[in-house]
Chain A
Amino acid sequence: MYRKDGESYFIVDSHVHFWDGSPANQANRYGKGFIECFYDYHRNLSPAQWQWPPEKFGKYTEDDLMHDLFTAGYVDKAIFQPTCLNDFFVNGFNTTEQDGAVAEHHPGRFIVNGTFDPREGEAGLEKLEALAQRWHLQGVKLYTAEWKGDSKGWKLSDPWVYRYLDKCEQLGIRIVHVHKGPTIYPLNRDAFDVADVDDAAGAFPNLTFVIEHVGLPRLEDFCWIATQEPNVYGGLAVAMPFIHSRPRYFAQIIGELLYWLDENRITFASDYAIWQPKWLVESFVDFQIPADMQAEYGTLTPEIKKKILGLNAARLYDIEVPAEVIAGLSPEPAAAPGPVPKVSA
């Protein structure tokens, strides 16, 4: 919980990792390149005092994670999003099992998401079922940029994906987080294209699709799709840290999202350990659209900030929210998809 100026903000960090990118776990030069790329994002967009040395960034401890999220970072609930990368890292980069083990050490703190890879065919469906039962999955994170042998990525329009999404519905998985990033195949197309999400979201109206990184760098395509499909949300991982380095750009992103989507379908995330929730939450609560942009974008009210920082994700994941946060908020709009957040005393 973060409190400032008489307001209480319930914080759901919708995208956190517990990874091992250390040299000992790197399977090849791609694994090395991958963690270096993450580290450059970390260094480029973090304030100087929040930058880690590369050794710590490669592999941090469970104590670091708990401290940075919950002791220092105001987070009430964190959602683990796996990124397996089995072709790059000996034991995987950040698997559901590794996340789950941490979550079991700290009951009530985390939600553990699973994943699937449609290229695994029939066997992958069984794996997903086992994963869902073991970790009581509500959500999956799909990393479409994952390499697998000769394949250098996949799309939601690929064969088998709808079988997996069917399976998700059967297993009670309701939320599908999709990383939209540089999948490499097919190479002659726009690797960041988000059009495949459109078809999947239309075909599975009972699933919610959270597009991580709000489709960046294809913000406009994401916004366009989200206006067509009410079950498409935008996750702010990677977009958040611009609040420090390029606040006017951050204002434009938020402004465009609020215009195209509205405030009920945007969710906060740090992408820990790339960035830390403490400074992101503090900065966001203090943030306002610059005066010269307000004619175009309006302003951010405490209510909008509360929804983005936690209430939207709480509604999606059925997380109880303390009454002090909800007090005084306008009722949920009837058109907003998903159940209204549960209120506890």
Chain B
Amino acid sequence: MTAATRETLTSRVRRALATVTDPELDEPITELGFVAGIEVRLREDRGHEVSVRLRLPTSFCAPNFACLMVADAHDAVLALPSVDAVDIVLEDHFAAEEINAGVAASAGFGGVFPGQAGGELTELRETFRRKAHLACLELAVRKLVEQGWQVDALGAGSLGDVPDSPERRSLLRRRADLGLPTDPAAPLLVGDDGGPVTADRVATRLRFAKAVRVGIEGNAGLCRGLLHTRYPRRAEEVEP
């Protein structure tokens, strides 16, 4: 393999960043347009330093989510072979200074905002993993209903009943994120804790799941729109 055919480090960084999602919107930050630039530098000691610039739809986007994305981006890029140092810079955000400095120093969330945050963001991340799972469940179930399944019967359905499709793959990934079983025999409908959903609660749970999905999709659309309004010329700049 010659150097010319090898995947560039920039491209590998981009793929690493594609594993980082906005926890609230449940989409990769690369697809949302949050990655404004990637730069690779050779240091004097021959090590590679990677700089990534991130940007968000508004200056007042919730700093907890911003912090999660900056920290996740930092970890994802640093895990790449031949990356020796990482600098993630959140731009144009009211709390950019604190977040950038805190993540660079690996201060943990409590260290980024002393006095304003108790503990870490694990619970917040879990909350949104549960929402993402519900939204994906609703889309997968929709496939079954289109095939003629009655909602009352869905409580007896298993994962294997959902035909292979993007919806099924999304659902499996969200279940794995939550530590829920992913084998074909596992029940399709489960509570947040993985427990069964009783027949009388199936319809309500699916109805709620739908409201969750509408919320997430709508929010993602709004965020995309606001980002484009805020950075009209730069929106297409960093496509791979």
Contacts and interface: CB of A to CB of B under 8 A. Distances in A.
A265 to B, nearest CB: 16
Contacts of A152: 116
B58 interface: yes
A232 to B, nearest CB: 15
Nearest to A252: B214
B149 to A, nearest CB: 16
Interface string A260-273: 10000000000000
Q: Name the prevailing secondary structure of the B interface residues.
A: helix
B61 interface: yes
B84 interface: no
A250 to B, nearest CB: 9
A167 interface: no
A33 B218 contact: no
A191 interface: yes
B240 interface: no
Contacts of A30: 94
Interface in B147-203: none
Contacts of B214: 219-220, 249, 252-253, 256
Contacts of A41: 226
A256 B138 CA distance: 15
A40 B207 CA distance: 33
Contact of A186 (B116, B207, B222): B116
B123 interface: yes
B34 to A, nearest CB: 16
A249 B124 contact: no
B212 interface: yes
A216 B121 CA distance: 22
Interface string B41-59: 0000000000000000111
A105 interface: no
A253 B218 contact: yes
A84 interface: no
27 contacts: A29-B94, A37-B59, A40-B58, A40-B226, A40-B230, A44-B229, A185-B116, A187-B113, A188-B109, A188-B110, A188-B118, A188-B121, A188-B124, A190-B124, A190-B127, A216-B215, A216-B218, A217-B215, A217-B219, A217-B222, A218-B215, A220-B214, A246-B221, A249-B214, A249-B217, A249-B218, A259-B207
Interface of A: 29-30, 33-34, 36-37, 40-41, 43-45, 150, 152, 182, 184-192, 216-220, 223-224, 242, 245-246, 249, 252-253, 256, 259-260
